[in-house]
Amino acid sequence: MAGPGATGEVGARRAVFAPVESRARVDAVVRRIGDAIELGLLADGEQLPGESELAGQLGVSTVTLREALMALRQQGLVTTRRGRGGGSFVSLPELPGEERLKIRLSGWSTEELRDLGDHWAALSGAAARLAAQRTEPHDLGHLRRTNEELTRAPEAAVRSRMYGRFHVELAAAAQSARLTREQVALQTEVGALLCLVLGDDEYREEVAERHRAVISAVQDGARDSARTLAERCVEESAARLIAVRLNL
């Protein structure tokens, strides 16, 4: 599978295929790959590495990997083709409609959403600070591309994926596999819900401008500014989700 050229993008994808922890390995593989597919880090129709290669990358046996792939097929996230040109391929799921998203959001209390926002802000703020310290300016192209895709996306579902991908790639730019995995897991938890606030074109532009400010601070090596800007971006999104929740 050919990887993208940008360092941060490679870092985000590398975190997807890093060795999993020993506990409940089948579930861990399913969650790792499933989260990456839900977030769009793995493209629709993309072929996964062969079983032996993928098992080696994840640090699991081929038996464990096959069980995980079976579970992913049952969830509709992976399809398998036999014969020449066969293998396992990503199947990007449709995001649920607005009413289903509102039902999902209603399962969260405002306190839980506020706590989620605090956790998200801490992750993104730390990632931005470290990225400003560790990342070379020429390695920020992937963040700019993702943000430009967000500004061009006509649908809230695509915007939410680009929003989530930006923060995952920001964690990858921090050169922290653990922060990246934490951000992937968080985005799969909250990402779809952002459809409820990113349908607003004006807010989409506001988010894109905030992202540009984060990129600029990271490029300048302004660690404190980068952290503050990333935190404010996330805090505003969490506040908007809470407002939607209160109106349900």
197 part of a folded domain: yes
Q: Are residues 130 and 34 in the same domain?
A: no
Asked if 117 and 234 touch (Cβ cutoff 8 Å), the reply is yes
174 part of a folded domain: yes
**pTM of the shown model:** 0.72
Q: Are residues 78 and 114 in the same domain?
A: no
1 part of a folded domain: no
CA–CA separation, 43 and 37 (whole Å): 7
* 208 pLDDT more than 70: yes
Q: Are residues 84 and 109 in the same domain?
A: no
Q: How many domains does the chain have?
A: 2
Mean pLDDT of the chain: 89
2 part of a folded domain: no
Q: Are residues 80 and 106 in the same domain?
A: no
Q: Are residues 233 and 112 in the same domain?
A: yes
Lowest-confidence region among 27-31, 108-112, 152-156: 27-31
% of residues, the chain, pLDDT over 70 = 93
Most confidently modeled of 13-22, 54-63, 232-241?
A: 232-241
Q: Are residues 160 and 76 in the same domain?
A: no
Q: Are residues 133 and 176 in the same domain?
A: yes
Instruction: Provide the domain limits for residue 85.
Output: 7-90
When pLDDT is cut at 50, 70 and 90, the band that residue 178 belongs to is very high
Structure confidence at residue 3 (pLDDT)? 45
Structure confidence at residue 43 (pLDDT)? 84
Q: What is the CATH number of the domain that holds 78?
A: 1.10.10.10
Structure confidence at residue 24 (pLDDT)? 65
Q: Are residues 202 and 238 in the same domain?
A: yes
Structure confidence at residue 182 (pLDDT)? 92
